Chains A and B, each alone.
Chain A
Amino acid sequence: KQEVTQIPAALSVPEGENLVLNCSFTDSAIYNLQWFRQDPGKGLTSLLLIQSSQREQTSGRLNASLDKSSGRSTLYIAASQPGDSATYLCAVKGTTDSWGKLQFGAGTQVVVTP
């Protein structure tokens, strides 16, 4: 059974510092991996989706890498801002489930202090 882990559970950084968020998964048979952002009282917003054949994906200050063989993904957020404070979740879509269920990590809560 796929297990997705995010360490650390919480992270606090000063504004301007780069953020590095980690996601690990136990089964490398995946279609893709997605990073989401969750704000209090709101739903999840998709940030980046990396296909299993890709090594990285970029959007603005965000860069996500994927090493499928080692079961790891990293989300980098450059020059963090207070507005980046949120919980970040990663989710993998496995190939063993024909309906492509997403398996989520528990998330990393990020606080960026001014």
Chain B
Amino acid sequence: EAQVTQNPRYLITVTGKKLTVTCSQNMNHEYMSWYRQDPGLGLRQIYYSMNVEVTDKGDVPEGYKVSRKEKRNFPLILESPSPNQTSQYYCASRLGASGRFSTDTQYFGPGTRLTVL
């Protein structure tokens, strides 16, 4: 089954304690991205990756890191989480990296609910 998986689904942590949220897709997609969703603000892109070892900042990258060492995995790293990073996080992927792949459907993971105390 084609899918995007994220772990953990729920996480409560404390300020400053490093954490990693994993994301994996089994569709051999080039493009992967991370979003955060906050009430009234919609989904905002944090980071994206066009392929292995190629990543770039989205709209709200401060306080986050990513890596893309393998095509299927795109972990999100919070080196020193703060309460303003409490949010719902989604990983997504699609087949083509370039915007010209206009027929690409974006697939989303089930989300990770993060609370930073």
Chain B positions within 8 Å of A, measured between CB atoms, are 4, 31, 33, 35, 40-45, 48, 50, 56, 58, 90, 92, 97-111
The contact string, 1 if C-beta is below 8 Å from chain B, for chain A 1-34, is 0001000010000000000000000000001101
| CB of A106 within 8 Å of the partner chain | yes
Contacts of A44 in B (CB 8 A): 90, 92, 106, 108
Contact indicator B98/A98 (Cβ below 8 Å): yes
Chain B: minimal CB distance from A8 (Å)? 13
Interface bracket on A: 20 to 34
Across the interface, name the chain A residue whose C-beta is closest to B38.
A106
Assembly CA distance A9 to B100 (angstroms)? 31
A49 x B99 contact (CB < 8 A): no
Residues of B contacting A41 in the complex (Cβ-Cβ under 8 angstroms): 110-111
